[in-house]
Amino acid sequence: MAFVGGEIFLYLALKVLRGDFFWWMKVDGALAIVGSFFERIIVKVIADYTGCLHFRHPYVASDL
């Protein structure tokens, strides 16, 4: 659990530092932060642990 949690933490920290954290949907306030947080974690887990290549494309909808 520490490895997976650490990996997700580093991934989220990198997204925040690059200014690429927020989800592609245009929402404001706390909903933008909470929605982006859950969307990033769900996509990361699906892409890393199932091998779903659709989420690995550089133009995935969550990164637009």
**Sequence spans of domains, the chain:** 2-63
d(CA 2, CA 37): 19
The answer to whether 62 and 41 have CB atoms below 8 angstroms apart is: no
d(CA 47, CA 4): 13
pLDDT digits (tens, 9 = 90+) for 12-46: 898 889 887 887 777 888 888 898 899 888 888 88
pLDDT of 57 reads 64
d(CA 3, CA 10): 11
Please tell me the pTM assigned to this model: 0.71
Residues constituting the chain: 64
pLDDT digits (tens, 9 = 90+) for 45-62: 888 888 777 776 666 555
